[in-house]
C-alpha cells in the first residue's frame, strides 16, 4: 500500500504514561472526595479523553463537576505527572526509519497539545515529527475522529495514503471514520480483541514491525 503520512498516538504508543496518568487521576478523585481507585484499576483510563473517564469514575454527566475533576487532575499532571513517563523501547528507531524514507510523521493525541509537545520534546522525538496535534484545553478535538479530520485538513494529507497508529480502539475508530488506514499496537493499553474489532490493516506486537509494513 502507498503510505505518505503516518499519525502516531502518544500515550501507550510512543510512551508509557501509566504512573503519571493514574497518580493524577487518584489525586483528582481525592480532591473531589470520590471513592479511591487502585492504579491497576485505572488502566482503562489511558487513551480516552479525560472527561469520558471522569464521567464513569464520578458517575455523573454534570459538566461543571467533570471540569472540576479535570482541573484537579491537571494540578498534579502539569507539574509532576507529565514526566512520570517512559519511552517505548524501539520507537526512536522506527521513527528514524520512517522519516528517512520520506514519510511525513505527526503526533495525533487526545492529550492537549500544550502537554503533548513537552513530552515529545522531553524524549528527543521532535526532530522526527512535522507537528504535534492534540486537543485544546477545553476538550475540543479530544475525540480522535475530530482530531484526525483536523490533521488531514491542516496538513493537506490524502486520507487513502495516511495511516493512524495507536493502542486503543479510539485511534482506529477515528481512522475508519476518516478513510484512514488503522494500525493497532499491542505494547499499549488496548487488548488484541479491542483492536481487532475495529478491523485495522495490522496489529503489531513490536515497534519494529511498523517499518516493514509501511514501506511495503
Catalytic residues: 9
How far is the C-alpha of 3 from the C-alpha of 25, rounded, in Å?
37
Dihedral of alpha carbons 51, 55, 61, 66, sign: negative
- Cβ(14)–Cβ(107) below 8 Å: yes
CA 156 → CA 100, 104, 135, 193, 213, distances in Å? 21, 11, 19, 33, 23
Point out which residues pair with 44 in neighbouring strands.
none
Cell numbers at residue 14, please? 510512543
Amino acid at each position: 500500500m502507498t503510505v505518505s503520512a503516518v499519525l502516531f498516538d502518544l500515550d501507550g504508543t510512543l510512551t508509557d504514561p501509566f504512573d503519571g496518568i493514574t497518580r493524577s487521576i487518584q489525586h483528582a478523585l481525592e480532591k473531589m472526595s470520590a471513592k479511591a481507585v487502585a492504579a491497576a484499576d485505572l488502566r482503562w483510563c489511558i487513551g480516552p479523553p479525560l472527561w469520558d473517564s471522569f464521567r464513569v469514575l464520578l458517575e455523573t454527566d454534570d459538566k461543571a463537576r467533570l471540569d472540576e475533576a479535570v482541573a484537579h487532575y491537571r494540578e498534579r499532571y502539569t507539574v509532576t505527572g507529565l514526566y512520570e513517563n517512559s519511552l517505548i523501547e524501539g520507537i526512536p528507531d522506527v521513527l528514524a526509519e520512517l522519516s528517512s524514507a520520506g514519510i511525513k510523521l505527526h503526533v495525533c493525541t487526545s492529550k492537549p497539545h500544550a502537554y503533548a509537545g513537552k513530552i515529545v520534546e522531553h524524549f528527543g522525538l521532535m526532530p522526527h515529527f512535522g507537528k504535534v496535534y492534540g486537543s485544546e484545553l477545553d476538550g475540543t478535538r479530544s475525540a480522535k475522529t475530530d482530531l484526525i479530520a483536523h490533521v488531514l485538513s491542516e496538513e493537506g494529507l490524502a486520507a487513502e495514503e495516511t495511516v493512524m497508529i495507536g493502542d486503543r480502539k479510539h485511534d482506529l475508530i477515528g481512522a475508519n471514520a476518516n478513510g484512514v488506514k488503522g494500525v493497532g499496537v499491542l505494547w499499549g493499553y488496548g487488548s488484541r480483541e479491542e483492536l481487532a474489532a475495529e478491523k485495522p490493516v495490522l496489529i503489531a506486537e513490536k515497534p519494529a514491525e511498523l517499518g516493514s509494513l509501511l514501506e511495503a
